[in-house]
Structure 1
Amino acid sequence: MSRAVVHQTFGGPEVLELRDVPEPHAGPGEVRVRVAAAGLNPMDWILSSDPEAAAMFGVTVPSGFGFDFAGVVEEVGAGADGFAVGDRVHGGALAKAAADFVVMKTPTQAPDALFRTPDGISDEVAATLPVAGLTAAAALAAIGLRPGDTLLVGGAGGGVGVFAVQLAKLAGARVLGTASEGTFDFLRQLGAEPVAYGPGLADRVRALAPGGVTAATDLFGTETAETALALGVPPERISTIAAGPNPPGGARATGGADARPGDMQRITDAILAGRITVPIAATFPIERVRDAVTLQAGRHTHGKIVLTL
């Protein structure tokens, strides 16, 4: 037997259970990964609590839980190419990452993905990268970020935001990041200039950047996108990841599925070179998955939350 986090119904953290399940094995064209860490994302608890959102991703109950994971390849099925037993890997497996084992088809098909984990990057860090890192890269690519831009990032202190801020700085942009005041010092450490979200945001941005904002990415709702439009940013230079398929004013909706083939290596190379740091706010053993999800759903943590196995 092995263990997996499952939920029989939709609901809050209380519906999540760590259960014994039959141990899976790699079939033809598949690899089995022993999971060492699973990174949490808002998407995970939205899919386990909201039936309509889950249906959009083809998730039905009973279901597993989690997407991001990191671990080691333990089995390689006949005809599975690209990975060998003992390879350290990280990736995404929709609604099944929080488990002792994940079985993946090779090559993977979106949204699932599997990447090699470079030496020098821990499993805990690797398990934070697939959703947040690739979504941040896609959000910046969608607006054609370039050196000299003044970029407004909405939700800069969240899991995607910490990558978006640092990738934008590496690209040569000035970064203004919306957050609560308790997050300001954290954002400054990442290289962003913090600005409080909420009513009056446009005025505060004007005061901070009298020369104007040239691009924006909204990683939480629509406030930042609407503010950027009000500040005269062209819609094609505004991206959103959580505003649905029709963001305000013709802004560009995007997500991790739109990331480019080399984006993950670019991110891991930058981590190894010390140009990107990955803040991990908390780690929990998988037995405490409910506590981890409760903490993350409060959206007041600085950085990522990781389950360890």
Structure 2
Amino acid sequence: MKAITYSQYGGAEVLQLTEVDDPKIGPDWVAIDVKATSVNPVDWKIASGGLDAMLPTYFPVVPGWDVAGVVTAVGPSVDDLAVGDEVYGYLRKDAVQDGTYAEKVGAPQRCVTRKPQRASFAEAAAIPLAGLTALQCLDLVGTTGEDTVLVHSAAGGVGMLAVQIARARGARVIGTASPDNHDFVRSLGAEPVAYGDGLVAAVRELAPDGVTAVLDTQGGDTLTQSVELLADGAAGRIASVADPSVAEHGGRYVFVRPDVADLTTLAGLVDAGEMRVEVAELFPLAETARAWERSMEGHVRGKLVITVP
């Protein structure tokens, strides 16, 4: 089968379209014909060697953790999926080697479930990592309809989904974004504010008493500003996917985990019309390097998706 691989650490230039063996599946795994996958910044950060101390890596690597496709075989222990099911999932395995930028993948049952019926394969592939990140962050800070939630990078992959999940729970949402994306952020149900030195004042203008929960995707100064914006009684209600020092402020650092129940929740939000996905651009598998270059530029509204013939 065809797959994108790299055999050494580097940037987009190390990616190659190659022939690799079809995946094998274990007793509680399924085989999937991949229809689409998506680009997450962690994909090219791993390829750069940036997570080498955290995750064991075996070359050649097929990158990618998101998948949407059709089940073609199931292991004997699989009891809730069948051949022909349209599925999606977050395939984070124990080591970095066999990812989703390929025509076929083997997936542990714990990582996949049926995709949203109202989503195309491309849209479904854009959800798993970003959607699970958003959902798990909001769960960790206990988001309810009583909250005013500050979501950073509200037009990005995690942010756009976090805004909609929080709104589905009845929360008020303030979202940071560049001015060009303010109309998009409003369309998601959030009140937009611009990044930068004036952020604290801009949020205070909308929420004079502060916000009651924060999802931080930037770290550094943004994290410091976020802590300053927490309302009285909301100390520690901040989740960061970018800065482990959030723990010093009583918050939680989040590295997303596979979770079928959470994937089912996300699919339910899509099928109920409470969450949609913005696909910024589609790239064929052979042009994955170009997709990575686009991701590395930053400021992508929504998600970049790779389609597989």
Question: Could you tell me the TM-score, scaled by structure 2's length?
Answer: 0.91
Amino acid at match of 1:256: V
Contact 2:89/2:263 (8 A) holds in 1: no
Q: 1:277 aligns to what SS in structure 2?
A: coil
- Structure 1 residue 200 displacement after superposition: 2.9
Identify which range, 2-11 or 245-254, moves more after superposition.
245-254
- Structure 1 residue 188 displacement after superposition: 1.1
Q: 1:228 aligns to what SS in structure 2?
A: helix
- Structure 1 residue 76 displacement after superposition: 2.2
Q: In the aligned structure 2, how far is the partner of 1:218 from the partner of 1:63?
A: 30
- Structure 1 residue 248 displacement after superposition: 4.5
- Structure 1 residue 142 displacement after superposition: 1.1
Q: In the aligned structure 2, how far is the partner of 1:182 from the partner of 1:30?
A: 43
Counterpart of 2:251?
251
Q: In the aligned structure 1, how far is the partner of 2:258 from the partner of 2:8?
A: 31
Q: 2:31 aligns to what SS in structure 1?
A: strand
Contact 2:38/2:125 (8 A) holds in 1: yes
Q: In the aligned structure 2, how far is the partner of 1:126 from the partner of 1:115?
A: 11
Alpha-carbon distance change, 273 to 149 in structure 1, aligned in 2, over 3 angstroms: same
Q: 1:69 aligns to what SS in structure 2?
A: strand
Q: 1:98 aligns to what SS in structure 2?
A: coil
Counterpart of 1:277?
276
- Verify: 1:101 aligned to 2:104, yes or no: yes
Alpha-carbon distance change, 130 to 211 in structure 1, aligned in 2, over 3 angstroms: same
Identity of aligned residues (%): 39
Counterpart of 1:163?
161
Alpha-carbon distance change, 232 to 135 in structure 1, aligned in 2, over 3 angstroms: closer
Q: 1:33 aligns to what SS in structure 2?
A: strand
Identify which range, 236-245 or 31-40, moves more after superposition.
236-245
Counterpart of 1:305?
304
Q: Which runs of 5+ in 2 are unaligned?
A: none
Alpha-carbon distance change, 208 to 114 in structure 1, aligned in 2, over 3 angstroms: same
Match 1:207 to one of 205, 208, 231: 205
Q: Which runs of 5+ in 1 are unaligned?
A: none
Counterpart of 2:127?
129
Counterpart of 2:65?
67
Say what the alpha-carbon RMSD is for the aligned residues.
Answer: 1.9
Q: In the aligned structure 2, how far is the partner of 1:175 from the partner of 1:29?
A: 40
Amino acid at match of 1:66: G
How many positions carry a matched residue from both structures?
A: 301
Q: In the aligned structure 2, how far is the partner of 1:93 from the partner of 1:245?
A: 27
Superposed counterparts of 1:23-102, under 5 Å: 23-49=22-48, 51-94=49-92, 95=96, 96-102=99-105
Q: In the aligned structure 1, how far is the partner of 2:61 from the partner of 2:115?
A: 27
Counterpart of 2:184?
186
Q: 1:211 aligns to what SS in structure 2?
A: coil
Identify which range, 141-150 or 228-237, moves more after superposition.
228-237
Q: 1:288 aligns to what SS in structure 2?
A: helix
After the TM superposition, which segments of 4 or more aligned residues of structure 1 sit over 6 Å from their partners? none
- Structure 1 residue 228 displacement after superposition: 2.5
Alpha-carbon distance change, 251 to 63 in structure 1, aligned in 2, over 3 angstroms: same
Q: In the aligned structure 1, how far is the partner of 2:168 from the partner of 2:29?
A: 37
- Structure 1 residue 222 displacement after superposition: 3.7
Contact 2:38/2:305 (8 A) holds in 1: yes
Q: In the aligned structure 1, how far is the partner of 2:123 from the partner of 2:286?
A: 20
- Structure 1 residue 220 displacement after superposition: 2.2
Q: In the aligned structure 2, how far is the partner of 1:275 from the partner of 1:159?
A: 16
Contact 1:93/1:102 (8 A) holds in 2: no
Match 2:221 to one of 220, 223, 226: 223
Contact 2:37/2:305 (8 A) holds in 1: yes
Q: 2:22 aligns to what SS in structure 1?
A: coil
Q: In the aligned structure 1, how far is the partner of 2:62 from the partner of 2:77?
A: 27
- Structure 1 residue 101 displacement after superposition: 0.7
